[in-house]
Amino acid sequence: MSAARELGYVPNEAARMMVTRRTHAVGIVVADLASAVYPIIMESLQSRLLQHGYRMILIRDPDASPDPQAVDTLGKTTVDGMILLSARDKSTALSRVLDRQTPVVLLSRDDVSVDVEAVLADDISAGEQAISHLQDLGHTEIGVISTLRDRSNGRDREDGAREAMGRLNIPVRQDWLQRIRLTHEDGVRVARRLLDQEGRPTALFCVNDVFALAALDAASQLGLRVPDDLSIVGVDDSPPARWSFINLTTVHQPIADMAKDAVDRLIRRIDGGLPNQPSKAIHPVRLEVRGTTAPPPQAVLRPPLRSRV
């Protein structure tokens, strides 16, 4: 190959595909890019794929795309395998990929309705660690902002939080549990609703940093000081969480390592190096205590902010 390089030889990809029956491409299916962790995921996926000699093709999830046939463009003649970041329960994209028997790995989200390879964070533990931290500070009035139940990572983080609250004898108030779409705007809206009421929560657990940053915005709009008046915990440890003027207490998930693990597993599955029975890889998470959590204020029962003179 060194002699070929000296002669300026460029490999013919089409010819190589005919010989190896491989495209050396992997499809990455995403529903949205709302979270600030997505650039880290994409960079880690692309870097690892290049190390294996593969290129990355990005496509919108048909469940979220105006083109419901989008994923069908990535057949076996286009990609050798797929990584899904957007898998919801009963995902259309996943069912189509499995019907074609294309090697696939789920990243960061699971689909309990099928048996498929998945690389996940310990989302149950993320919720438990967040609530345990708030309880250690003295909080017993905790609101939860969660995703819709068809997203496994948000669902598991919420369930972990609820289990921890039950174990610690912290009441789970249904009016303080909000499930919403993954948008900053919806996060601000429900956070304002939770905070602008009599006897509001002294702390909010948000199942991702998108919602936690939205809660910070809502608190600022209502004149609440974080963490003096309100504590906020997120999950992800996205880059904005580490900015000094935000300094968010959040649960870190090793998303770069998870992305590399997903690529390695997919390549082994493409090469036939994994058993037919899929497995779930669970990566540990850890709480990062920063500047948005503190003991609750002494006066718990306060009038709604809009009624203050």
128 vs 306, residue with greater confidence: 128
Per the CB < 8 A criterion, the answer to whether 235 and 251 are in contact is yes
Q: What pairs with residue 205 in β-bridges?
A: 144, 233
44 vs 96, residue with greater confidence: 44
CATH of the domain at 138: 3.40.50.2300
**Same domain for 182 and 133:** yes
- From CA 100, how far away is CA 72, in angstroms rounded? 10
Per the CB < 8 A criterion, the answer to whether 219 and 232 are in contact is yes
Q: Output 264-269 pairs: Cβ under 8 A, ≥24 positions apart.
A: 264/48, 265/105, 265/117, 265/119, 266/26, 266/81, 266/82, 266/83, 266/103, 266/104, 266/105, 266/117, 267/52, 267/54, 267/81, 269/81, 269/103, 269/105, 269/117
pLDDT (tens digit, 9 = 90+) per residue, 247-293? 999 999 999 999 999 999 999 999 987 777 889 999 999 999 999 99
Q: How confident is the model at residue 308 (pLDDT cuts 50, 70, 90)?
A: very low
pLDDT of the residue at 91: 75
**Same domain for 175 and 71:** no
**Same domain for 131 and 110:** no
**Same domain for 198 and 246:** yes
**Same domain for 294 and 150:** yes
Q: Distances in Å between the alpha carbon of 87 and those of 10, 142, 268, 269, 273?
A: 38, 29, 21, 19, 24
**Same domain for 210 and 293:** yes
Poorest-pLDDT segment among 54-63, 88-97, 169-178, 205-214: 88-97
**Same domain for 152 and 265:** no
**Same domain for 94 and 19:** yes
Q: How confident is the model at residue 302 (pLDDT cuts 50, 70, 90)?
A: very low
**Same domain for 170 and 56:** no
**Same domain for 294 and 168:** yes
Q: Which domain holds residue 136?
A: 123-253+289-307
* Over residues 33-44, mean pLDDT: 88
**Tokens standing for residue 127:** 């919720």
Instruction: Provide the number of structural domains found in the chain.
Output: 2
- From CA 77, how far away is CA 226, in angstroms rounded? 53
pLDDT (tens digit, 9 = 90+) per residue, 40-50? 999 999 999 99
Q: How confident is the model at residue 213 (pLDDT cuts 50, 70, 90)?
A: very high
pLDDT of the residue at 97: 82
**In the chain, pLDDT over 90 holds for what percent of residues?**
66
Instruction: Indicate the pairing of strand 81-84 with strand 55-60.
Output: unpaired
101 vs 31, residue with greater confidence: 101
**Same domain for 171 and 143:** yes
**Same domain for 83 and 28:** yes
pLDDT score of 21 more than 70: no
Does this model's pTM top 0.75?
Answer: yes
**In the chain, pLDDT over 70 holds for what percent of residues?**
83
Q: How confident is the model at residue 98 (pLDDT cuts 50, 70, 90)?
A: confident
pLDDT of the residue at 50: 98
Q: What pairs with residue 58 in β-bridges?
A: 28
**Tokens standing for residue 70:** 């989008």
Amino acid found at 53: G
Mean pLDDT of the chain: 87
pLDDT of the residue at 250: 99
Q: How confident is the model at residue 111 (pLDDT cuts 50, 70, 90)?
A: confident
